[in-house]
Amino acid sequence: MKMTITLLLSLVLVGNAFACDPMGKSGIVEENNMWIGPELSGISGIDKAEFNRVIDRVEKIYAPIVKKKWASLKVVRKWSDGTVNAYAQREFFTWKVSMFGGLARHSTVTSDGFALVLCHEMGHHLGGAPKLKALIFPLWASNEGQADYFGNLKCMRKYMEADDNVTIVSKMKIDPIARASCNGQYADAEEAAICMRSAMAGQSLSNLFQALRKLPSAPKFDTPDAGKVAKTNDKHPAPQCRMDTYYAASLCTQDHYKDVSNADPNVATCSRKRGHKKGLRPLCWYKP
């Protein structure tokens, strides 16, 4: 019994080490040295009030969901911290997400993009398979690509569903390719508008990833990553691959109130195995 408890505790600790970095160096993005302090507020459209409004809204949705899993959700709000990152971790029955003001203040990050960051971190907690692994054991955290996919497939739809999305989108600059794809996938105008908002949120974050990696060109909706992995990549995919993931999740028509599975990645997702043609996880990080 003592050996079993020790093994379980070791797996929890390894899970934290793999899924997050309490120093905020590695989370939704790889370790970086960028620092955007509160004195630089205003370079993005997110001020402290908006920072808290977005977190409040996601927290209100997911605190009851986490409670049903016999845990409590704690979002740590670090507005004054200039770190450009966010991360998730678990401390036994407390599921934590740490959100930094530096990321919110980055010029590429929109309000919806910031919400998608928090949804990505919730995806580590609730995103299901594929999971990170330690040796042969699956850990508590969904891998990076799955956290991205869950973010738009489940979380952002819950976040946006009470809005007048048609009106919101009418005031946004929507990429014409994303607009056409969303209108083609969803007959309902509100659902199409949610698709557009989530796709553009994905573009916002993909532009952040591109900027942090200092790549010469930004990801685009019409230049999907053509790569195919030999096995599922648990780490951060390349910016274009991540944008493809957000975009695919926006186009997946599966019910956002149906839970994914911790064991079967085909449950409540768009799946090649189940014959779906759109909304599939990109092969640039996912091996079916």
pLDDT tens for 62-73 read 999 999 999 999
Q: Domain for residue 16, yes or no?
A: no
Q: What band does 1 get if pLDDT is binned at 50, 70 and 90? A: very low
DSSP assignment of 137-185 equals: EEEEEE-HHHHHHHIIIIIHHHHHTTS-HHHHHHTS---HHHHHHHHHH
State mean pLDDT over 280-284.
98
Q: Domain for residue 27, yes or no?
A: no
Residue 83 DSSP class? B
State mean pLDDT over 193-206.
98
CB 48 within 8 A of CB 100: no
Count the neighbouring beta carbons within 10 Å of the beta carbon of residue 138: 17
The whole-number pLDDT of residue 134 equals: 74
| Number of residues that this document lists for the chain | 288
CB 113 within 8 A of CB 204: yes
Give the span between the Cα atoms of 92 and 43, in whole angstroms: 38
The whole-number pLDDT of residue 138 equals: 72
Q: What are phi and psi of 6, to 5 degrees?
A: -60, -40
Residue 82, both tokens: 């200039």
The whole-number pLDDT of residue 8 equals: 38
Contact residues for 72 (Cβ-Cβ < 8 A; gap 6+): 63, 66, 93, 94, 95
**Start-to-end C-alpha separation, the chain:** 37
Q: What band does 5 get if pLDDT is binned at 50, 70 and 90? A: very low
Domain tally for the chain?
1
The whole-number pLDDT of residue 21 equals: 54
CB 242 within 8 A of CB 225: no
Q: Domain for residue 155, yes or no?
A: yes
Report the candidate in 31, 32, 34, 53 with the shortest Cα–Cα distance to residue 43. 34
What SS3 class is residue 110?
coil
CB 227 within 8 A of CB 283: yes
Task: Reply yes or no on whether the pLDDT at 56 is more than 60.
Answer: yes
The whole-number pLDDT of residue 31 equals: 87
Question: Which amino acid is located at 156 in the chain?
Answer: M
Residue 159, both tokens: 């976040």
Torsion of CA 120, 32, 222, 183, to 10 degrees: 30
Report the candidate in 13, 19, 11, 9 with the shortest Cα–Cα distance to residue 89. 19
Among 43-47, 124-128, 218-222, whose mean pLDDT is lowest? Answer: 43-47
Q: Domain for residue 235, yes or no?
A: yes
Task: Reply yes or no on whether the pLDDT at 27 is more than 60.
Answer: yes
Q: Which residue has the higher pLDDT, 15 or 84?
A: 84
Task: Reply yes or no on whether the pLDDT at 30 is more than 80.
Answer: yes
Give the span between the Cα atoms of 38 and 48, in whole angstroms: 9
The whole-number pLDDT of residue 133 equals: 83
Among 32-41, 49-58, 186-195, 235-244, whose mean pLDDT is lowest? Answer: 32-41
Q: Domain for residue 97, yes or no?
A: yes
Residue 35 DSSP class? B
Q: Is the peptide bond before 130 cis (omega within 30 degrees of 0)?
A: yes
Q: Domain for residue 267, yes or no?
A: no
What SS3 class is residue 189?
helix
State mean pLDDT over 36-42.
87
Task: Reply yes or no on whether the pLDDT at 40 is more than 90.
Answer: no
Q: Domain for residue 76, yes or no?
A: yes
Q: Which residues span the domain enclosing 134?
A: 41-251
State mean pLDDT over 195-210.
98
State mean pLDDT over 202-212.
97
Give the span between the Cα atoms of 140 and 261, in whole angstroms: 12
The whole-number pLDDT of residue 235 equals: 94
The whole-number pLDDT of residue 43 equals: 79
What SS3 class is residue 87?
strand
Average pLDDT, the chain: 91
The whole-number pLDDT of residue 2 equals: 33
Task: Reply yes or no on whether the pLDDT at 12 is more than 90.
Answer: no
Count the neighbouring beta carbons within 10 Å of the beta carbon of residue 40: 15
Task: Reply yes or no on whether the pLDDT at 119 is more than 80.
Answer: yes
Q: Domain for residue 171, yes or no?
A: yes
